[in-house]
Chain A
């Protein structure tokens, strides 16, 4: 159900906005790793320690110029607690990018990365791009997860890796831009290889102002 409806809104929305692509990106990770702060730092360039716990799901929209294209990012912020996955996984479908976040001062959040990665594989489109982000890198004193371990895990899972800080605005923009680049690369790669499962919906006449992902036909 969600898949069908998600793809519908995507197409309809793209028709009344002025942009070349629209990417749907989800930020996931354990509770209190800093997902909301990360999103607000990127979308509003603001930070406050006084965020309330996210309940359910929320999103923000930001339009960027990248590679001469106007790209509209729809960034979804999810509740981290495990039981909320029943609600949030409905939004995995149709997402082209994921920011999987852990807290470098919280071992448990790092240990959960594997689990989150499984969730992505289970509920999302196969071609979804994932970035692993170790947040709160400004809190070096309290670090329990070394950069090296993070990088190793990212390599193991096949994700790109960043360490970032929403508080000090380290690597936040870079993370999103890299994700957009990766998605764009993957998209053009798909176009080049003309994988029918991926490009089928993109061959239409409105390619330029049409949302890129053909997730109607994706394997979800």
Chain B
């Protein structure tokens, strides 16, 4: 039995690869689950009742409302 080709017999090739090249085959599966997790996990997490944590402040909060910037003190 010759080695199946991917393009002519994809399913048979996958079956052969999962038996003969398991490390690479399952690595591809696990790695391709990454983008799926990236898209699928946030809705799942929110559906299970998780709320996104509030952001950590890195500086003083900027007050909402009109602000007046002093003029004439900068190097013109």
A binds B: no
